[in-house]
Structure 1
């Protein structure tokens, strides 16, 4: 753990001040408020925290070097604390984040369509199809198997597997334009 902050980016989340605690990025109130686009970022987040003191459970006090070079005690927030602060905000970015979380929960935990027996059948079919991909030598057959896997993943509300890990030869099929084949140990680039 260092006494300085750094910027952090993950997808659409860009934070100006993050300190790593046990390898986990913890954001300052200032950075969270800036990301939420508050005019007075620190004060706005302080107000949210005053109304929701339970969020402090997800903070860690650190002694960090400020812009002026002086050391200051600062609370930094674990990603769960960051998300809880965002959930309490009414800013446009917060609303978009709330929708994304709700869609994520619906997709992976929502009761939409398949019961457990059907879902297990879909998952078995996904497994069977991924086994077939390992032996596919024809690009048309390979693409059809991929489409079938996508279909069953959708029915089961399950994430699509990384099919590149299922093939026996990484270079058996040409990659679409713009992608490069990763170098393998013992193989030329």
Structure 2
């Protein structure tokens, strides 16, 4: 296991954590960092209370040796992003509640809760076909990137995978059909 014993701050989107250690390239947060982000009056104690009520979260933690203020190495428990998310989901703090709503909206969107109407879907599919046709004949790298971005966005709106653009313009006989 590759672990950095150096505590560093970490930011991603609206999440800013004061104490993170990278374990195998993945940021793991301390209880203090999680509690500060959730705005507990006593950050470490607030997270400890969540963990006491929800011991299953501990399986998303690992112990690492970190240099303490006194210069000695101490075992410190740090939490994988899944553990951090579970602490947030179990917390009653206002910031945690806002995060839960954002996560629910994300899940709703990507599970089909905000699918376009049939009329919009037909329009989006027509736009997708035009963008794919334009991509086939486009020779400008900049324009190709713009068209690929449009294709990705339309596919995201339709809730379908992005087509394999390497197949555009190829005769079906040129491509091996897998599984047939």
Name the counterpart of 1:50: 52
Name the counterpart of 1:66: 68
Name the counterpart of 2:22: 20
| Structure 2: gaps spanning 5 or more residues | 164-180
What is the TM-score of this pair, normalised by structure 2? Answer: 0.70
What is the TM-score of this pair, normalised by structure 1? Answer: 0.67
Do 1:49 and 1:85's aligned partners in 2 also have CA atoms closer than 8 Å?
yes
Cα shift at 1:3: 1.9
Distance in 1 (alpha carbons) for counterparts of 2:34 and 2:51? 12
| Structure 1: gaps spanning 5 or more residues | 162-189
Name the counterpart of 1:83: 85
Summarize the alignment of residues 108-123 of structure 1 with structure 2, pairs less than 5 Å apart. Answer: 108-113=110-115
Distance in 2 (alpha carbons) for counterparts of 1:126 and 1:88? 41
CA-atom RMSD in angstroms: 3.7
SS of corresponding position for 1:110: helix
Structure 1 residues 61-93: Cα deviation after superposition (integer angstroms, max 9, x where no partner): 111112232211111000010000001111121
SS of corresponding position for 2:92: coil
More helix by share: 2
Q: Which moved more, 1:95-104 or 1:65-74?
A: 65-74
2:82 paired with 1:107: no
Q: How many residue pairs were aligned?
A: 154
Q: Which moved more, 1:151-160 or 1:33-42?
A: 151-160
Distance in 2 (alpha carbons) for counterparts of 1:123 and 1:64? 54
